[in-house]
């Protein structure tokens, strides 16, 4: 299992995964779902799974359920997950 920080932007005009926030940069996940009743968290899991090419059930929010900065875990991760993650942020691995 690999864990990574993400910065969530709920209520965005469209769902996007990419770009960095902060220093060092963490992955930004913008979702259209509002931050109500866990809908944004569910959307984050689906968006990350799609962007990383893994199943939704393999992505889990492990910390920060009510915060904009969350820690997500990717189970059964592909060997090149670190490179995929860095490419989405826009930095070299």
**What is the CB neighbour count within 10 angstroms for residue 22?**
10
How is residue 90 written in tokens? 């826009």
**93 falls in which pLDDT band (50, 70, 90)?**
low
The answer to whether the CB of 88 falls within 8 A of the CB of 51 is: yes
Per DSSP, 57 falls in state G
Supply the range of the domain harboring residue 24. Answer: 2-89
- For residue 65, what is the domain's CATH number? 3.30.1200.10
- Indicate the pTM of the whole model: 0.92
Average pLDDT estimate for 7-32: 96
Q: Is the pLDDT score of 16 beyond 70?
A: yes
> Cα(74)–Cα(52) distance, rounded to whole angstroms?
9
Q: How many domains does the chain have?
A: 1
> Cα(43)–Cα(49) distance, rounded to whole angstroms?
10
> Cα(75)–Cα(59) distance, rounded to whole angstroms?
6
Residue pLDDT, tens place only, 39-85: 999 999 999 999 999 999 999 999 999 999 999 999 988 899 999 99
């Amino acid at each position: 299992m690999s864990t990574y920080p993400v910065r969530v932007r709920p209520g965005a005009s469209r769902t996007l995964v990419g770009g960095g926030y902060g220093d060092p940069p963490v992955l930004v996940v913008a979702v259209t779902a509002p931050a109500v009743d866990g809908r944004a968290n569910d959307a984050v899991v689906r968006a990350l799974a799609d962007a990383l090419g893994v199943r939704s059930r393999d992505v889990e929010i492990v910390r920060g359920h009510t915060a904009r900065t969350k820690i997500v875990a990717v189970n059964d991760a592909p060997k090149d997950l670190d490179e995929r993650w860095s490419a989405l942020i826009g930095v070299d691995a």
